[in-house]
Structure 1
Amino acid sequence: MLDTYPRELTQNPLKKIWMPCRNGHIAQRRVCMTNCPTLIVTVGLPARGKTYISKKLTRYLNWIGVPTKEFNVGQYRRECLKIYKSFEFFRPDNEEGLKIRRQCATSALNDVRQYLSVEGGQVAVFDATNTTRERRGTIVKFAEQNGFKVFFVESVCEDPEVIAQNIVQVKLGSPDYIHCNSEEAIEDFMKRIKCYESSYQPLDEVLDRDLSYIKIMDVGRRYLVNRVVDHIQSRIVYYLMNIHITPRSIYLCRHGESDLNIKGRIGGDSGLSARGKEFAKHLRKFIQEQNIKDLKVWTSQMKRTIQTAECLGAPYEQWKSLNEIDAGVCEEMMYEEIQEHYPLEFALRDQDKYRYRYPKGEDVKWSPCI
């Protein structure tokens, strides 16, 4: 006999299995799955935008529904050493400093394991310099032992102006330099970079041909992509190749009131009402007052948005993906009518508008626009 009510869906964490190693010891090994977790590893000298990239990637992946967390080794170091003294800590011949930095990296990797293996994370971003092939090899071995995929993101920049700008904008606000003036901070940080340069081994097309990575050169002027093996890595590559790092202003605006808005009906493709046209004129005045150079306007392909954009007197581009979602069987209905004829659908939409899909209609998909 069939159940009267649908069974509750549950999501269980991926189970682990125990496998004997060759030396006779028992080792914990993750089930080999296509959709196994991914460890993103940054590579590059200081002041190359690694942390910026890490934060952007983490935010983006979480936004598209992939549980992601950033692990910044510099933060682990600050928690271990409450007071930063100088660049001397990063000298390659500073054995004590090297020992502490290795301990911090190990602590961060242990937290990565906890997040991906126990807490249900799908992607971890390991944000550190990772400038030597030895360090990267250690990370790859760690990932293999735990059943994680590894994807390296290297940022290479030789433009002195870009490096200087990054130091001024980001590093001067670092907790390491809160007790220094700007000149002292810049001088110390430049010396810190020198400490890494002597041992820096960039990702190499021949030596690292078996690794999965993207190399970003001179803030996106060139890219090198190698061995992308799954959907997550392809999304990462696509995002990083389209990311903007220069400051810009983005204005978001609704279209003017439409004829169907007046009637309280959703969807449709009606034009602007009299008040909607008046709104478009005021919007044009506002935009002109901003005096925006090379203004670009994006609009949907609906009449009401095109009519609003035409009043601006600026070139505009139509995007189908900016169209209001198709309400399917509820198209051009009033909310009261939807509640009367489709009470369950009305309640489901009210609970979660972002993920709700109308019967024979659409839900939200932003990827082509971001």
Structure 2
Amino acid sequence: MAQHSDIARSAIISSATSPNPATMGDQRNMNPRSNGVSSIGNGIGSGKEGALMPPPKTVVGRALGNDLHSDVHKASQAPKGGVGTALTDTPISTAPLSPQIVGRTQPGTPGSARVRATTLDIPGLTKSKVSPDGRIAQRDVGAKLVIVMVGLPARGKSYITKKLARYLNWLQHDTQIFNVGERRRVAAGKSPSPAPTKGQLKGPKGVHRDLLDSVRRLSVSVGSQNKGETSPPDEAPLPPPVVPAKILVNGQEPDASTSTNGSTVVPSIDAGPGKSIPDAEAITEASPEPMDQTANFFDPQNQRAVKLREQVALDTLDELLDYILDEGGSVGILDATNSTMERRKAVVDHIRNRAGPELNILFLESSCVDQSLLEANMRLKLSGPDYRGQDPVKALADFKRRVALYEKSYVPLGEYEEKMGMAFIQMIDVGRKVVAHQTHGFLSSQVVYYLLNFNLSPRQIWITRHGESQDDQAGRIGGDSDLSENGKRYAKALTTFIDHQREKWELYQRQKDLIRHFPPRPGDSTPPNPSYIPSDRPRNFCVWSSMMKRAVQTVDHFNEDEYDVKQMRMLDELNSGRMEGMTYKEIQDQYPDEYAHRKKNKLFYRYPGPGGEGYLDIINRTRAVIVEVERTTDHVLLVSHRSTARVLLSYFQGLKRDEVANLDVEMGVVYMLEPKPYGVDFKAYRYNPDKDWFEEVPNYQLKQVSTHERSASIVA
């Protein structure tokens, strides 16, 4: 009877999306609440497994009076089983189940595999037995994600992957990009292979493989075949017509003990049967004779190049899977064209052969129909590694020939992927239009949310701390004090300076539009920013501050007829809990253990007491601000505090995890970030109180708080 009850219960679930058969398991092992059906009354605590009850009554729209009192009275009656019944106005959910994975049972354990939900994992905000810190656990392969890029060259794939990886890493989900083009250039001898340190030489399953392992496996001597050489037993066989790779040291095959000049060959590391990795210092080039990288290299009739490209693509995918399965990564992004259905099927098959059915795969296709966007992307290619230093007109013609070769066999995502229930996202014109299909996982949903909210429109993003406050003068953290006299001067100067910069930027854009030309002239490789907003009016300018008095007073002089001034609690300073309003010396004296704990690991530390926060809390509450900044086509000035400014700057600059909490964000400095198709331009202007003006700091680089400063205080 229990089995029939489970079947009946599952029939209630909405059929809006069909579950993947690979994820279906014994429904009896599922929490009955996870399928959207609320167990009411006798269904809870009655001992009747799977008992179904009618939906609860709703009180929406009912006036507060006898009717509501009656419902409350009925709900408060003593329930059967002694558990209790909560009053609710929420109808039964018809949403699909949360994504699930089939957990493998331990060897020797009877019974079928357990079905387990894969829901949100947020460092600092969630925890579980397998993940006390909220990160995606190593064993939770079903919660991880492989993103496979799809699209013709010059469609913005690398731009999208870099932004996406920066965002996911900022959210503390370990993400890495695996670019097939970079490894293709190394394998073809176009780019030298950088020599890693000896500590990075870990063997075929080491912690750091990257380009060293690419050289081992991708430096292909395609003209000859080692028929006696076999693949290592832990690796999948390569599909034909790929030829096994030879190791080339200084362009030659090394002897077992000596080089061609008689000197001793450097020690090598075992790389599996019949293979070895030479020491890093011995690797200078991937190929003895660099292969032609013009459009001819991408011709399907060029069998030597085809073999090398296939080998590169497969080995790059293996590196990605090593990162996901063995090295603790959460998201791996395969940056390549993957423009044919055959190639995409091969990618899926290879992932399934190594990782099984649990690992999530999301195809992300970028296509462009806007000619100005294609123009910008092509300009970028002219200054890239394949065409750098060449005549831009000739380079452009060659690049168009390369694209034409890809177009002959290009098959966009669509009917086949929908029929097979595969998850994919299609982006048209880098965010102008987005189509999502079967993106149910937590990480996949984060990807969709982010991709819906960024654009290429030219604009400026300004970040600064508030002016000096009275608490700053007293050396106290937190609090909500007013600006000091110095702070008031800074606020007035900031308003005047931003007015000036706004006018200067508008003038520059008008001049840029006048000299815009395509095809490019010799020496011109600067890409334009495509924009979908009217260019016949000045750009709007937003000024956002925290809700604390010292930040609100810093933006008090901006004319609200000219600027969109808004206060956001998400930009408030880190809350110090019971240590609010104390000096660092007082904290060290009164809470020595907390002082030492935070100094040891500030990123993961949370202040004790009511409202106490840590940097992970700030990352999560500023996420909405980051997405809004990415979405808007307007200029924006963010006036916040040291901790929030650190988090904001770490996102835009793509800083590493251990650099966020000790970033030196100076008071009296305003930072300017200008998104470009190739990245973000970064400048800094320091306030000069003698001139009452801001002066640009040449070649400004963000830095970490010095060791001396860190030893003197815990720095908020």
What's the TM-score, normalizing by structure 1? 0.86
Report 1:169-180 matches (<5 A). Answer: 170-178=380-388, 180=390
Deviation, 1:249, is: 2.1
Which residue matches 2:490?
279
Q: Which has the larger radius of gyration?
A: 2
Contact (CA 8 Å) 2:417, 2:423: kept in 1 or not?
no
- Letter of the 1:362 partner, please give it: E
Which residue matches 1:145?
353
Q: Distance in 2 between matches of 1:331 and 1:163?
A: 53
Deviation, 1:17, is: 9.0
Q: Distance in 1 between matches of 2:338 and 2:567?
A: 43
Matched, 1:368 2:624: yes
Which residue matches 1:42?
149
- Letter of the 1:139 partner, please give it: V
Deviation, 1:51, is: 0.9
1:199 to 400, 404, 409: 409
Which residue matches 2:343?
135
1:309 to 536, 555, 565: 555
2:464 to 250, 253, 262: 253
Q: Secondary structure in 2 aligned to 1:296?
A: strand
Q: Distance in 1 between matches of 2:323 and 2:186?
A: 19
Deviation, 1:34, is: 5.8
Deviation, 1:205, is: 4.7
Contact (CA 8 Å) 2:339, 2:406: kept in 1 or not?
yes
Q: Distance in 2 between matches of 1:178 and 1:275?
A: 49
Matched, 1:51 2:158: yes
Q: Which runs of 4+ in 1 moved over 6 A?
A: 15-18
Matched, 1:97 2:348: no
Contact (CA 8 Å) 2:423, 2:438: kept in 1 or not?
yes
Which residue matches 2:451?
240
Q: 1:95 to 1:219 in 2, by over 3 A?
A: same
- Letter of the 2:340 partner, please give it: T
Matched, 1:288 2:537: no
Q: Distance in 1 between matches of 2:476 and 2:346?
A: 60
Contact (CA 8 Å) 1:42, 1:153: kept in 2 or not?
yes
Contact (CA 8 Å) 1:283, 1:312: kept in 2 or not?
no
Which segment drifts farther, 292-301 or 322-331? Answer: 292-301
- RMSD of aligned Cα (Å): 2.3
Contact (CA 8 Å) 2:300, 2:306: kept in 1 or not?
yes
Q: Secondary structure in 1 aligned to 2:365?
A: strand
Contact (CA 8 Å) 1:143, 1:149: kept in 2 or not?
no
Q: 1:246 to 1:351 in 2, by over 3 A?
A: farther
Q: Distance in 1 between matches of 2:574 and 2:390?
A: 53
Contact (CA 8 Å) 1:287, 1:312: kept in 2 or not?
no
Q: 1:246 to 1:355 in 2, by over 3 A?
A: farther
- Letter of the 2:588 partner, please give it: Q
- Letter of the 1:104 partner, please give it: V
- Letter of the 1:368 partner, please give it: A
Matched, 1:321 2:596: no
Contact (CA 8 Å) 2:492, 2:557: kept in 1 or not?
yes
Matched, 1:300 2:546: yes
- Letter of the 1:142 partner, please give it: H
Q: Distance in 2 between matches of 1:97 and 1:295?
A: 51
Deviation, 1:221, is: 1.5
Q: Distance in 2 between matches of 1:32 and 1:120?
A: 9
Which residue matches 2:667?
none
Deviation, 1:185, is: 0.7
Q: Distance in 2 between matches of 1:35 and 1:324?
A: 36
Which residue matches 1:226?
437
* Structure 2 segments unaligned to the other structure (5+ residues): 1-103, 108-137, 190-289, 504-538, 627-716
1:345 to 594, 597, 611: 594
Q: Secondary structure in 1 aligned to 2:491?
A: helix
Matched, 1:120 2:308: no
What's the TM-score, normalizing by structure 2? 0.46
- Letter of the 2:176 partner, please give it: K
Q: Distance in 2 between matches of 1:253 and 1:161?
A: 33
Deviations 1:267-309 (A, max 9, x none): 1222222221111112122212213542211111111111111
Matched, 1:87 2:291: no
Deviations 1:73-119 (A, max 9, x none): 11121112124342122123333332221111111112122222222
Q: 1:299 to 1:152 in 2, by over 3 A?
A: same
* Structure 1 segments unaligned to the other structure (5+ residues): 1-14, 19-30
Deviation, 1:217, is: 0.9
Q: 1:88 to 1:34 in 2, by over 3 A?
A: closer
- Letter of the 2:541 partner, please give it: L
| Identical amino acids, percent of aligned pairs | 41
Q: Which has the higher helix share?
A: 1
Deviation, 1:153, is: 0.9
- Letter of the 1:341 partner, please give it: Q
- Letter of the 1:235 partner, please give it: Q
Contact (CA 8 Å) 2:144, 2:443: kept in 1 or not?
no
